[in-house]
Structures are given as structure tokens and as C-alpha cells.
Amino acid sequence: MKATTVHRLPFPEPGDYSNGALALQYLATEVDTDLAVDLAGYQKFDQLGMGISTVTSNSIGYAANTLVQVGFDTIEYTDAGFNIIPGQGGTTIRDPAFNGWYRIGGWLSLNQLGATTANSFREMQLINSPLPGATGPGGTAIYHARTYTNGTGNDELSLEVTAFLYYGCQLNMFLLHNNAASNIQYLAGTRLWVAQIVPDVS
């Protein structure tokens, strides 16, 4: 009995014994094994992780040149491998099965509580800080979006990037501004999200 070149599926030759049932059993076993491998690979892409954290109430006002961590208090949506760290408000990948490439994004809604400093900036930072015991390389990655304004009232910042995340990565959002004339607060509805787009298949 020979086997096909690519998938090594067995097939009888003219000189082989004539036990057709056994030949089919060999073939079915090899096909079943190949299908199991293919299914496991497909499930990696079918079970991608996602988590969305949100703010449900307006913050206090924060002074200029102070890096402020946004306190996410509600899980809007999460898969089993994600959670919010109490007291910190970040989103953490808790399941090694969710290692892979992600779209990381944030939307930060701000309100200026008084006068405007001319050409002052408002900045959102997304920081990936691996927790103790995290797999993958250490260090902290910072992604930021900045806008300048001479107006008053609300400002909005949005940012989305692609990055490889590992088990134990903690994602947080920070606010920074230099509007010395008045404090700025972040508003309810501010969001932070992570959505896996390609799993780690290594």
C-alpha cells in the first residue's frame, strides 16, 4: 500500500490484498487525523478574544502637566481571558491562549472646566505594562494621540494601533494636558478596547 505525496493518505495498489474494508479503514483514519489538525488550527482563529472597558461617571478636574490614569469602572464586554484590575482600571490579558496580534484602541472624552491656555494640548496615552510573571518581552510600550486647542468646552481624542500582546499584558489609558488656565476632566463614555485579530500560532 502506498501513500499520497502531500497528505500521506494510504491507497492500495493492484498487487495488494483485496481487503477493501481494511484499506478504507486506513484511509478514514488518516483523513480523520488530518481533519483534527485542521480543526484545531481553525479554532484558533474562530475563538479570538476581545475586551471593552468604559467609564460610567465624570472624573474630577485635573491640573496641567499631571499624568492621570483613567479609571475604567465597567466591563462593557469581555471574553473569558480578559478582566479589569480593581483599583487600577486597566484591561489585562489573563489567558495565555490569547497571545497574538491585536487592535488596541481608545476614545477619550474631555471637558475643560474653565479658561483656555492658548495652543494648549490634550493628550491620550495607551500604555502596555507587562505584569509580574507575564510571558514575552518586558518593557512598556506607549502610544499617544495629541490635539491642540484655543477653544473651550469638550475635546475628544481617539487612537487605534496594532501590536502583539502576551499573557500578562496590562493595558491602561492616561490623560495629560498643559492647560494651565483651568483643570480638565475626562467624561463618562470614555472607552478602552482590545480586539485580537491574529492568534499566536507558533
Cα–chain center distance at 124: 17
Q: Does 82 have pLDDT greater than 60?
A: yes
Q: Which of 76-80, 92-96, 136-140, 162-166 has the lowest mean pLDDT?
A: 136-140
Helix (H, G, I), strand (E, B) or coil at 85: coil
Cα–chain center distance at 79: 11
Query: Grid coordinates representing 59?
Result: 472624573
> What are the C-alpha distances in Å from 128 to residues 7, 17, 141?
42, 63, 5
> Are 173 and 143 spatial neighbours (Cβ–Cβ below 8 Å)?
no
Mean pLDDT taken over the chain: 79
Place of cell 474630577: 60
| Better-scored residue on pLDDT, 19 or 197 | 197
Place of cell 483485496: 18
Hey, where are the domains in the chain?
Answer: 2-46, 50-199
- Helix, strand and coil content of the chain, in percent to the nearest 5, comes to 15, 45, 40
Q: Please give the model's pTM, rounded to 2 decimal places.
A: 0.72
Q: Where is 174: in which H helix or E strand? A: strand 169-177
> Are 101 and 196 spatial neighbours (Cβ–Cβ below 8 Å)?
yes
Q: Identify the CA nearest to 184 among candidates 133, 113, 86, 108.
A: 113
Place of cell 492621570: 68
In whole angstroms, give the CA distance from residue 3 to residue 96: 37
Place of cell 490614569: 69
Q: Does 87 have pLDDT greater than 50?
A: no
Could you give the percent of the chain with pLDDT greater than 90? 29
pLDDT digits (tens, 9 = 90+) for 143-166: 889 999 877 768 899 999 998 887
- Which residues pair with residue 171 across a beta bridge? 91, 128
What's domain 50-199's architecture? Sandwich (2.60)
